[in-house]
Amino acid sequence: MNLTASQRFLPAPPVALAPLAGITDLPFRQLVASFGAGWVVSEMVASQDMVQAKPSVRDRAELGFDQSATAVQLAGRDPYWMAEAARMVADNGAAVIDINMGCPAKKVTGGLSGSALLRTPDHALRLIEAVVSAVDVPVTLKTRLGWDDDSLNAADVARRAESAGIALVTIHGRTRCQFYKGRADWSAIRAVRDAVTIPVIANGDITGAQDARTALARSGANGVMIGRAAQGRPWLLAQISAALYGTMPPQVPQGRAFCDMVSGHYEAMLTFYGAALGSRVARKHLGWYMDTGGTPTALRTAVLTSTDPARVLALLPDALASTGAEAAA
């Protein structure tokens, strides 16, 4: 991939679903995409584990290789394994590869991956160069403002990443040491926008169309990435796209349609993970759907503690009866 090609890379509409560990699995990404989104990003995949895993483990990852609006996010600290993983997922049909330089979790940064790479920009550049050289698909980068307030080096990292062939950079408006505390500083992203010519995407605390407008105005970014705000609201990205870019507004499900959507999502998770694991993993999503309002405590508890998928599906119509209208707001 040459730099000229990378400079033209910006999915439309420029509204993306952020990678969220344990949340943005294939069933959720497919649901978000069904309403309309510029692109969605897979959960972070450890590069060495991806390459060395048995075929059945790789199959289980279900990264959505055949979906053109999906980016596969890779994490790691070794240029060799990152390049090998990138080559593997590209050969399997991945349309975009995203490099994780933003995860603040201690188990990731302790392994010198994720946002820890902001502390070693020379090494990070070698990793970026290895991935870009390994594949012909666009390679993007997701990172933060810096490690802490004394090392706000995102603009320099982004400038060097662009020279290495990165196609697009997403900036979460916090440092690693902030984790998710305080508020994302959208204005601080402007330094990155001024440093590069490739598209810049603003991320962090964008919960709706007005936040998206403000984030774009303050940062000068070319688009936005939505994370936690989409939990329980898989149509949110499409709503933001319609408000900012004039795309078709989504039909937000209400009443029976809302229950059917939630039930379908639940069943998709059972199919994806298997009944036992799927029932457990789905609880957080069911909770978010019920959080939109009105579910009696006892009924909510029954839904979230049942281990019988048939009983959960039987309870959902009553549990969601008063949530659809609020969810659409």
| pLDDT of the residue at 113 | 85
Q: Are 18 and 227 in contact (CB under 8 A)?
A: yes
The residues facing 71 across adjacent strands are: 41, 96
Interval 169-214: pLDDT, tens: 999 999 999 888 989 999 999 999 999 999 999 999 999 999 999 9
* Rounded Cα gap, residues 57 and 300, in angstroms: 34
Query: DSSP character for 247?
Result: P
Query: Does residue 287 have a known ligand-binding role?
Result: no
Average pLDDT, the chain: 89
Provide the H-helix boundaries in 138-224.
Answer: 154-164, 190-195, 209-219
Using only C-alpha atoms, the chain has a radius of gyration, in whole angstroms, of 20
Go through the chain and tell me how many residues it has: 329
Residue written as token pair 């060395």: 52
Query: Does residue 178 have a known ligand-binding role?
Result: no
Q: Which of 103, 124, 152, 240 is labelled catalytic?
A: 103
User: 0.85 exceeded by the pTM?
Assistant: yes
* Helices (H) then strands (E): counts for the chain: 16, 9
Query: Does residue 172 have a known ligand-binding role?
Result: yes
Query: DSSP character for 27?
Result: H
Q: Are 245 and 13 in contact (CB under 8 A)?
A: yes
Tokens representing 273 are 């993970």
Query: Does residue 29 have a known ligand-binding role?
Result: no
Instruction: For domain 3-245, give its CATH number from 1.10.3470.10, 3.20.20.70, 3.90.1580.10, 3.40.930.10.
Output: 3.20.20.70
Q: Is 259 annotated as catalytic?
A: no
* Rounded Cα gap, residues 49 and 171, in angstroms: 26
Domain ranges across the chain: 3-245, 256-328
Query: Does residue 73 have a known ligand-binding role?
Result: yes
Interval 252-299: pLDDT, tens: 999 999 999 999 999 999 999 999 999 999 999 999 999 977 789 999
